[in-house]
Structure 1
Amino acid sequence: MSVRIDGDALFQQVMATPQVEAAVHDQAVKIAQKARRLSTAEGRDANIRVERVDVPSGRVSYNVVSDDVDGEYGNAEMRRLRTLRRAAGGD
């Protein structure tokens, strides 16, 4: 007798659990909090929020978004701060 395991179905079931969604959301909230601290330390007044994103694979995902485009990407008068990237642990 053989057993067939559908990895995709199992993945989607796990991603649909409240525990996984809560853990992913909590991580996004922590990143947003750190991004707010970094933004404030740089003298910026950014509106940083967490948004749920629907991913076709069934993966639970949240984006941390900032309205401070100039602070995030820089411009001719301002250096690039990359607060979201730094808050997420990159670079």
Structure 2
Amino acid sequence: MMDLDSRLEELGFCKKEGKDGSIKYFLYLNDESKFFWTQITVTPVKDAWQVTYSRSEKQVGLWKIHSVVKKIDVHVISKIETMIEEISEQKVKTPDLLRRICSS
């Protein structure tokens, strides 16, 4: 587990421990115009890891701006190397051309 901690820390993740002893790793990529995913979460589960990719976007309401989750992908991965490789690829994923033009 220590190797996983250091590998995820190198990628920019923060480790958070819940009151029940559970551990989750969070990476926030808040610039929605530059990065496709705005949050990546890694949760250890029995003999594997659940990696959740989510994309939030700002929407204007009548009285305030809301952050709305538009897309969620969940992957369960059993090998650390595969997980680190996938996260590295997804971390640099950018929005498509139409989304960039509309958000400028």
If the TM-score is normalised by the length of the shorter chain, which range does it land in? under 0.3
Q: In proportion to residue count, which structure has more helix?
A: 1
- TM-score, normalisation: structure 2: 0.24
Instruction: State the structure with bigger RCO (CA 8 A, min sep 6), 1 or 2.
Output: 1
Structure having the higher Rg: 1
